[in-house]
Amino acid sequence: MDASRLQGIGMTSRRTRERLAMRLGDAGITDVHVLNVIRQIPRHLFVDEALASRAYEDTALPIGHGQTISQPFVVARMTEILIRYGIPQKVLEIGTGSGYQAAVLAALVPQLHTIERIRPLHTRSQALFRQLGIHNIRQRLGDGHLGWPGAAPFDAIVLTAAPAIIPPALFEQLADGGQLLAPVGDDRGQRLIVYRRLGEEIEEEAVEDVSFVPMLEGTQR
């Protein structure tokens, strides 16, 4: 990859990332580790080159296949929630998508597992992680409803697409004391909800209204 594209110039430069981090701080993101990662990750590489000049706007952008790269504030907010009780050692992400949320998480946690159901997005993110030298991400093409039983239990699970209800397999793969963070709902409305497992009990905390693509079953090749 061209070095100037990797580092960014003009509207994709490090200075532009710094301005984005400052805006997120003003909007309520308080974790300094999360803001530092936002400063470092070149978001413009996770969108089509034609949209690179918009990569550091605080907005969701299309990435093809009916999917989007999440708004930076939402990525930062979800990351901040996941690490609020300390850094989880092993995290499962459902919905790799562009790979941006995975890259942000991988900068903060030792092990990240991520599942994508759409093959071209899975393949593209694999190549991008290699180019960026990110080596603590394990990837799988598959149905996120099933989770990743062979790698469970997970200290944290995050969904980047919205189910109407949380698939039971994901709660089964959540470690005691772990958090599951997900947008839940449909096209009539969604809420970002934090579930925390305490023994056999699941605590639930609604955070805020959000808008994500729906979580679908199966794989798309």
- pLDDT at position 99 is 98
d(CA 37, CA 204): 28
Evaluate whether 17 touches 43 at the Cβ level (below 8 Å): yes
Q: Is the pLDDT of residue 3 over 70?
A: no
- pLDDT at position 13 is 79
- pLDDT at position 4 is 45
> What token pair was written down for 115?
């599942």
What is the average pLDDT across 193-210?
A: 95
Helix axes 72-82, 32-40, angle to 10 degrees: 140
The DSSP output letter for 187 is T
Q: Is the pLDDT of residue 200 over 50?
A: yes
* 59-74 residue pLDDT tens: 999 999 999 999 999 9
Evaluate whether 106 touches 83 at the Cβ level (below 8 Å): no
From its phi and psi, is residue 64 left (phi > 0), alpha (psi between -120 and 50) or beta? left
Whether residue 70 lies in the annotated active site: yes
> What token pair was written down for 187?
């096209």
* 8-49 residue pLDDT tens: 545 667 899 999 999 999 999 999 999 999 999 999 999 999
d(CA 124, CA 137): 14
59-210 CATH choice from 3.40.50.10860, 2.40.160.20, 3.40.50.2300, 3.40.50.150:
3.40.50.150
What is the average pLDDT across 112-136?
A: 97
Its pTM stands at 0.93
**Catalytic, out of 70, 98, 125, 211:** 70
- Domain residue spans in the chain? 59-210
Cα–Cα separations (whole angstroms), residue 191 to 14, 22, 64, 208: 33, 26, 24, 6
HSE (side-chain half, CA atoms, 13 Å) at 78: 28
